[in-house]
Amino acid sequence: MSEPTPPTSGDTRTTPAQAPATGRIPHGPFRPGDQVQLTDPKGRINTITLQPGKQYHSHKGSIEHDTIIGSHEGTVFRSSGGTEYLAFRPLLSDFAVRMPRGAAVVYPKDAAQIVAQADIFPGARVIEAGAGSGALTCFLLRAVGEHGLVSSYERRPDFADIARGNVEKFFGGPHPSWKLTVGSLEDALTETEVDRVVLDMLAPWETVDAVAKALIPGGLVCAYIATTTQMSRVVEELRGHGAFAEPYAFETMLRSWHVEGLAVRPDHRMVGHTGFLVTARRLADGVTPPLRRRRPAKGAQPDAAADGAPAT
């Protein structure tokens, strides 16, 4: 297991979840090889990888790695210059926004919505088109667990290398549930009977037919796109294909709040638009989707609008 649980006292069983010599253990005392976030009094974060005999250096002094190793998370360490640093392991959300990048990353607020709205469950078989830098891949692997599958497709070999490095860095080695293929989803897809498909690519509408063939009835496709024109095109492609129920399109905005005594207000900055999400369920083979009975907005259908326009 990529995030194993340390064995309890007297437990000598050898299982993937109890192999402390392999993978990242995200709890317990700090160990050599762990990533640690050191936060100074101004909230500035520096991430280090613990190595025996090494030091963390800054203009505010140094801290011995050996001082941190063996300590618990949430401990405060004082540098040689007198500055105090609070030490925690980075959360996945922290790692995702600070990881080395090739392609732009899917931000945690969107990754969380993908996991929730696409109902990525333990043991699920998930196809990911567009591994990018591996941020979303890490969230998907966390969700499916050691008994699931995330099969990622990435067209660019350089992006695939970056994604592989980031995934292995976060999980402490190769994840047993991950398969990475260099190639396009349309040409290289081999999996069938999958539960979920997540599309993070420039033209997701080009893959709708391949996605329909791979998904089980009741399965779900989720597309992450950046622009309204992309969103419109993928929604209309899903509607017109005939194998999917009515698509659902939305976006998520995240705003933090300043809370200090009686001064309670929204922060001046927020994480606004990053992308749109579109989800749709796979129908059973041979089923015709019900006809929508919703009155279209004016101008929604250009031809109808033209027919109803007054003559000049």
Which region, left, alpha or beta, applies to residue 183 given φ > 0 means left and ψ of -120 to 50 means alpha?
left
Q: Determine the residue type at 137.
A: T
List of residues 6+ apart from 117 with CB closer than 8 A: 222, 248, 250, 277, 279
CA 131 to chain centre: 10
> Is 237 annotated as belonging to a binding site?
no
> Is 256 annotated as belonging to a binding site?
no
Sign of CA dihedral 165, 169, 171, 173: positive
List of residues 6+ apart from 52 with CB closer than 8 A: 32, 65, 66, 69
Place of tokens 């405060």: 76
CB-CB contact of 235 with 228 (8 Å): no
Burial of 79 (0-12, 13-18, 19+ CB in 10 A): buried
> Is 202 annotated as belonging to a binding site?
no
> Is 82 annotated as belonging to a binding site?
no
- Residue 150 per-residue DSSP state: E
Cα–Cα distance between 171 and 152 in angstroms, integer? 16
Q: How many CB atoms neighbour CB 234 within 10 A?
A: 25
> Is 133 annotated as belonging to a binding site?
yes
CB-CB contact of 312 with 269 (8 Å): no
> Is 206 annotated as belonging to a binding site?
no
Binding site feature residues for S-adenosyl-L-methionine: 133-136, 154, 200
In the annotated binding site, the residues are 133-136, 154, 200
